[in-house]
Amino acid sequence: MNDSWINDLCRELLRLRDPGRGWGNRPGGSGYVEPTALAALALAASELPETRTELQSAVKDVAGWLSRLQQSDGGLGISPELPKPRWTTPLAILLWSAIEEGSMSRDKAVKWLLTQRGTTWEPTGQSPYGHDTRIIGWPWVDETHSWLEPTAMAVLALRRCGLSDHTRVRDGQRLIRDRAIRSGGWNYGNSAVFDADLRPQPAPTGMALLALSGVEDFDSPLIEQGCAYLESILPTTRAPQSLCFGTLALAAWNRRPAPADDWLMAAQPGAARRSNSIAELAYLLLAAGKRSLEFLGTTN
């Protein structure tokens, strides 16, 4: 990827931040955990020598803001004003893992994450759902069912912290396999309802493939179908989140499309115009980052 483009994107994200606090959901807005952790992770992963000092300083500052928001049991909420739900915690773990000073906050958050469980139930009679409701993963909100994205993010965060062989990680990967759509790919976590296969989506498919990297065979049908779905859908979209997780996942499976850089650059003007420009620009930067796969707990 063009270093000059990455450099410009880094500068734009830094410009949109108020020093001393995190990024908001929109420029000028009050700080929220998700865009903050995402933007800082993307900056950390960009690894540009000429801006390294400036980036490192901003990332440390932001990581410190997140540490101050961390609750006593280790979880993180949505924002300073919204302490729950706490699905943002895995993203903060990934950021704290990327810097030396983050270890205390990270370890506390990992302990909390390992205690979180989605609700399960024994199916009675013929279940309308296509998935196994008994597998334990991670929910979006306490006391609700497990879903694909919070489970995939938890698996990535725990693997990044060296817990690839932990039972919870194995169960999380089992859940991810179980939620795959028969025709290929993943969505938010409902593979089929009343026997009708639902439609896949690129961002969850990307997250699932990242979370399964290194534990599935390259030629497993699950991986082949998931990658094939991404290869068919990514040329049709300029949505940064989908491009980010889609291209990173294909890279993790040694199938990064040749035009991927062009897609990311073509997505930037639209991303910069939208009200949620911070997250959109952060996804594009993360997609292009030299150390992104490493910081997401995957390798190719």
Partner 1 sequence: MITTPQASSGGPYGRPQHPSRPQSAGEFLPACAHRITRRDLVLGAGGLFAAVTAGKWAWNSAEHFRRSEVFVARAESYGPWLVDLLQRGLTELGLSRKKVAGKSVLLKPNLVEPTVTAPHVNTHPAFVRAVVEAFRKWDAREVFVAEGQGHCRDTTFVLEQSGLERVLDDDKIPFVDLNYDDVFTADNRSRFTRLPKLYLPQSLRRADFIVSLPKMKTHHWAGVTLSMKNLFGVMPSACYGWPKNVLHHAGIGQSILDICATVRPHLAIVDGIVGMEGDGPIMGTPKHSHLVVMGTNLPSVDATCARLMGFNPENIDYLRNASGTLGPIQEQHIAQRGEAIAPLSQFFTLPDHPHFKQFRAA
Q: Which residues bind partner 1 (CB under 8 A)?
A: 25, 29-30, 32, 34, 78, 82, 85, 87, 128, 139-141, 143-145, 147, 149, 187-188, 190, 193-194, 196, 198-199, 201-203, 236-242, 270-271, 274-276, 279-280
The rounded distance, in Å, linking the Cα atoms of 121 and 141 is: 17
Minimal distance, residue 188 CB to partner 1, in Å: 5
Shortest Cβ 49–partner 1 spacing (Å): 32
Kindly tell me which of 236 and 299 has the beta carbon lying closer to partner 1. Answer: 236
Nearer to partner 1, 25 or 225 (CB): 25
DSSP code, position 18: P
- Nearer of residues 197 and 294 to partner 1, judged by Cβ: 197
32 versus 65: smaller Cβ distance to partner 1? 32
Nearer to partner 1, 49 or 125 (CB): 125
- What is the distance between the alpha carbons of residues 279 and 282, in angstroms, rounded to a whole number? 5
If 0-12 CB within 10 Å is exposed, 13-18 middle and 19+ buried, where does residue 52 land? exposed
CA distance 188 to 166: 24
Residue-wise DSSP of 164-213: TTSHHHHHHHHHHHHT--TTS---SS--EETTEE----HHHHHHHHHHTT
Q: Please list the alpha-helical segments (H only) found in 18-166.
A: 33-46, 52-69, 89-97, 103-115, 148-160
Q: At closest approach, how far in Å is the CB of 178 from partner 1?
A: 17
Q: How far is the CB of 297 from partner 1 (least distance, A)?
A: 20
Residue 158 vs 278, nearer CB to partner 1: 278
Least Å distance, CB 107 to partner 1, is: 26
CB of 233 to partner 1, least distance (A): 9
H/E stretch holding 269? helix 260-273
How many CA atoms lie within 13 Å of 291's alpha carbon, on the beta-carbon side?
16
